[in-house]
Chains A and B, each alone.
Chain A
Amino acid sequence: NAGVTQTPKFQVLKTGQSMTLQCAQDMNHEYMSWYRQDPGMGLRLIHYSVGAGITDQGEVPNGYNVSRSTTEDFPLRLLSAAPSQTSVYFCASSAGTRDTGELFFGEGSRLTVL
């Protein structure tokens, strides 16, 4: 199993550009989420999904869109990138209603917005 796979690992954008961070998991997990981590800070929840077709906002959702058309994939879209969105983004998944509290994280996507 690959676990949670994030692409790209690194990305540089100009202000106003759009892009999508991809996240895929092969563990048949119901729950998926996106976090961002700024230097010296903990992780903050952006959006999460408890199953295909269901998404909800986390702590810092502004500027980001998500969709969950399949169990495996949970892309994060930045429609008009801003320098404040420079951060490291982590995708995570868990077994949802069967879970034990263990979140599985991807390796992160490092985004710089100029």
Chain B
Amino acid sequence: DAKTTQPPSMDCAEGRAANLPCNHSTISGNEYVYWYRQIHSQGPQYIIHGLKNNETNEMASLIITEDRKSSTLILPHATLRDTAVYYCIVRVGGGTASKLTFGTGTRLQVTL
């Protein structure tokens, strides 16, 4: 699975958009980009995933560059409850999802 690089921490004001970047320059054509988050010490929570098209759901939007070497997770209106560690993961999708490898992620702090 391709390796990902994320900034260790970011701050965002409540109500503003939080844009979390992820570099995955060695991504292969059949690898998906997944985003999870972990609030405090709870179990990680799935947010969104995509292959090459931009994706949006009720939680966030995922923007993948045309060359697929990087992506951005967007939380359109961050709230204090979005304070968490966000993990960007790249792996082959479909089938047994899983053996997902979680790095150290980006710690997002949403402030008043």
Contact = CB atoms under 8 A, between A and B. Distances in A.
Interface in A74-114: 88, 90, 92, 94-97, 99-108
Given A103-B100, A108-B41, A42 B95 contact: no
B81 interface: no
Contacts of B99: 33, 45, 48, 58
B21 interface: no
Contact of B46 (A33, A96, A102): A102
A45 B96 CA distance: 14
A41 B94 CA distance: 27
Contact of B103 (A31, A42, A92, A105): A42
A102 B41 CA distance: 19
Contact of B98 (A40, A59, A99, A106): A99
Interface residues of A, number: 32
Interface residues of B, number: 25
Contacts of B44: 43, 90, 92, 103, 105
Contact of A45 (B45, B101, B104): B101
Contacts of B41: 88, 108
Interface of B: 32, 34, 36, 41-46, 49, 87, 91, 93-105
Main secondary structure of the interface of B (DSSP, over half): loop
Given A41-B104, A42-B87, A42-B105, A105 B98 contact: no
Contacts of B103: 42
A97 B43 CA distance: 23
7 contacts: A4-B43, A30-B96, A45-B99, A88-B41, A97-B95, A101-B34, A103-B97
A105 B96 contact: no
Nearest to A108: B43
Contacts of A31: 96-98
A50 B49 contact: no
